[in-house]
Structure 1
């Protein structure tokens, strides 16, 4: 099998691995899948967005007060995760405001008066509709005592990805990429549609969320691996979704935030493509992690200063830019390191490991929402440093003969020097001749 794979690779190099067919495949499947597949895969991020909210206090309809004035009267203050004093989102003053006959705003709004009032948790809330008419969170009131519902849903999606990747990664190598691709599409469509009708029942919502995430990874993996096997490896790309949860909860227009952090991946791809083909996958991966960690620093310092919010937000976007490069390179490296016969299985094992760790991602973001806005970036800074160090010990795959068998994979990279750049071997582009044995093995397939 390994010999047939090697011969097939040589034939592809001889007939051309960057022709019209390969371009159509990559543009239609790989590029389109990032767009349309990403819509079904990522819509849960915006659907679970948490709009600004506060306790609904009856009685304002009997006054001419603005909403801001009514909040000053009826809601206690609290310190948020940025250290700012804001209105409480889950508590209100224990007063029946509908029975008040004589209104003296200055007296009622005095600090002295508020100090005498008891505070209680509210059961009904109002939600800001500046950006969303409704989300799952606002529709089902997943805030305050239920604020973990959103975080748990994100974690359950990652659990679904772990389970699905374990099974479908192996099936892709056994039964082929195409059938797994169609199953993946069907699964994610069914799961996402089912979530629309189960939001009122969190247990069922959790189950269909897991089902909808079973094939989320194989939905992208299958066409990407086909593209790698029939065309130039650098055509293949993967979308990287690091920092999406954190940016989705940032202040301002959530759709614009989502668009910017997604659009930044386009220039990141082109730079990753150039760097990976110039200095190699290993150094590109490591240096990108270093640059990402450096831009975490101004974000940590400025995150809680209102006047520096724009600078802090731009720093987060730059961090996303460099992390997008690392995600592109590490996936390319993984696909090139595993032998052909176990490529999707091997890539799936790596994906399973990353998704198991990724289950903690929503809870890291939750720390920022509940305690301190800087905690997620601090943790990300540490992870980037670790990623930079670990990336240096991966084998370089640029200008290397990629392994076709398990035996070749075991020794791949063992002869590489640590402080070196990849160099193209002389005559590398001309060594396309097939041996007699390779032709005989391919004869039944032709």
Structure 2
């Protein structure tokens, strides 16, 4: 059978059919944007202090000083987890002693918030933190909630590829969209934190699976010249648009249950897409369903007002199985030689560190100075120019140097944040957004770079392993944010240092821009220090223009 792109060239590059697929699948990723970071508002922790029960008979003077003061990041605030012992305060109040005059307040014994907490309600009416008192001794539940979501993302990354291969791209796309919408809705009725985490796990599983399914489906249907634009300026920018929509909705809806309910509604509007988005003809051909694939393409030809050939795909000739036997590659092939082992380990480390930085900055929005809604909107908006910059870099520049520059830029900015005076809050936020720009662009670059480094025989597997490493990073990201409760600048120091290290590691990888895509392990580029085998081979494609070949695009589903 001849090349698929040649067989469907009669459709043209950018007809009504291609435009419909491009925009419908791109728009389907908008819900992924706001569900992916909804925990920023749903799980935020407002200022709080211990409750002093109304029934406790103490004077107003003693009630006003019953909460001790603490210095937090140079600011004097009420303690959020301690109060003076009420029994002792009541005894002193009954004796009509005056606090600060007759009694030194700081000498009084303290106790935990045994009667609960009083939360500020000027920003939120309720969050999962205020509903289930996830503060003080239970503050560990906050990062664990986000980690449960990213655990679902990890599982979904693996599951989406299996579903897509077995049942088809279209069924995987709509079933995972249904999972995301359904569990986002079920979270609204969570009776406990434990069940919320369970539902949040499945929400994360559907979120990434839906995004990847849309990415793969569109990449297989669209022509080669459109794929790179679709993968950067299509699905990625629509994801950023969804990201920016979240703070707009959260600004008007301050109750976490109602907010999640509203965010689950857009998924219902995508149900009619079932009748407009077709199955991938490539997948149908791989399953031997030639007539169904031709039927889709003939319908597309009618939309584009072109005449299809009488026979689009030639019948498959029977093969001699004995002469066509090929070596079956396994994950162990990524570790067989010193060269490929080093490339695999370096790539996994870069992916994991990059994922920590990207998601930690996304989740850290609520900890920034200034308006949380404006900060979150800015965090999403900065991704749009980042994806545009990525598209330009992928077209014209060295992969290794582009990745190095974006990583070092993002990491250096984070390290310099601690040097900015605290009163220059706008500059601090701007610096963090600049760091987010670097992380976002680097994330888009590393997908293409990794796919170009590994040969066709293990490319899907290699990108899948790196993607799994990145999910491990995203699971740990909430705990980097959590460290900010102990030291405001500690997360920035750790993330900045690790990211610069990742940039240096990226320089150790071989260059792939303008180099033919390897087909076998022997044809891979070599890291300096490993003796390169001399292998003569012919290749008709270049990495600069064909990193979005079907083999590479299939790897994205993992």
Normalised by the length of structure 1, the TM-score is: 0.79
Q: Report the equivalent of 2:284.
A: none
Corresponding position of 1:434: none
Q: Match for 1:85 among 53, 76, 97?
A: 76
Unaligned 5+ runs, structure 2: 240-357, 530-538, 546-558
Aligned counterparts of 1:111 and 1:71: Cα–Cα separation in 2 = 16
Which residue is equivalent to 1:248?
Answer: 366
Which string of whole-angstrom CA distances, capped at 9 and with x for unpartnered residues, describes residues 37-90 of structure 1? 22233223321111111112245999998xxx988622112232x243321001
1:3-34 per-position Cα deviation (integer Å, ceiling 9, x unaligned): 76xx113446675444443333232212x233
Question: How far apart, CA to CA, are the structure 1 residues paired with 2:11 and 2:463?
Answer: 27
> SS at 1:243's partner residue?
helix
Q: Report the equivalent of 2:219.
A: 228
In structure 2, what is the equivalent of residue 203 of structure 1?
194
The Cα of 1:351 is off from its aligned counterpart by 2.1
TM-score, normalised relative to structure 2: 0.64
Q: 1:412 to 1:189 in 2, by over 3 A?
A: farther
Matched, 1:39 2:21: no
Indicate the SS of the match to 2:430: helix
Pick from 106, 112, 116 the counterpart of residue 124 of structure 1: 116
| Deviation readout 1:316-359 (Å, 9 max, x if unpaired) | 11100111111121234445667889877654433222111221
Q: Is the 8 A contact 1:188 1:214 kept in 2?
A: yes
- Residue from 367, 379, 382 that aligns with 1:264: 382
| Structure 1 counterpart of 2:521 | 410
Cα distance, 1:39–1:110 mapped onto 2, change above 3 Å = farther
Partner of 1:440: none
Whether the 8 Å contact between 2:516 and 2:541 is mirrored in structure 1 is no
Which of residues 366, 376, 380 in structure 1 aligns to 2:491?
376
- DSSP 3-state at the match of 1:236: helix
| Match of residue 27 from structure 1 | 23
2:126 is matched with 134
Contact conserved, 1:76 with 1:91, CA < 8 A, in 2?
yes
In the other structure, the counterpart of 1:285 is: 403
CA distance in structure 2 between the aligned counterparts of 1:416 and 1:18, rounded to whole angstroms: 40
Q: Compared with structure 1, are the counterparts of its residues 222 and 349 closer, same or farther at alpha carbon in structure 2 (3 Å cutoff)?
A: farther
Q: Give the equivalent residue in structure 2 for 1:391.
A: 506
Aligned to 1:307: 423
Coordinate RMSD, CA, aligned: 3.7
Evaluate the alpha carbon distance shift between residue 183 and residue 260 of structure 1 in structure 2; reply closer, same or farther with a 3 A threshold: same
Secondary structure of the residue aligned to 1:414 is coil
The 5-angstrom pairing of residues 174-189 of structure 1 reads 174-189=166-181
Q: 1:422 — aligned with what?
A: none
Pair 1:380–1:178, CA change in 2 (3 A) = same
How much does 1:184 deviate?
Answer: 1.0
1:108 is the counterpart of 2:99: yes
Q: Deviations over 1:187-232 (max 9, x none)?
A: 122222222222x423322222222222221211111123333233
Q: What's the CA shift for 1:152?
A: 0.7
Could you tell me how far 1:401 is from its partner in structure 2? 5.5
Cα separation, partners in 2 of 1:14 and 1:318, compared to 1, 3 Å: farther
Deviations 1:350-384 (A, max 9, x none): 32221112211111111112x11111111111221
Q: Confirm or deny: 8 A CA contact 1:18 1:232 kept in the other structure.
A: no
Are the aligned partners of 1:395 and 1:413 in contact in 2 as well (CA < 8 Å)?
Answer: no
Deviation at 1:167, TM superposition (A): 2.1
Match of residue 53 from structure 1: 48
Shift of 1:113: 2.4
Structure 1 residue 354 and structure 2 residue 470: aligned? yes
Q: Assess if the C-alpha contact under 8 Å between 1:56 and 1:126 holds in 2.
A: yes
Farther-moved stretch of structure 1 (233-242 vs 44-53): 233-242
- C-alpha distance in structure 2 between counterparts of 1:337 and 1:343, whole Å: 8
The 2-side partners of 1:58 and 1:413 are apart by 70
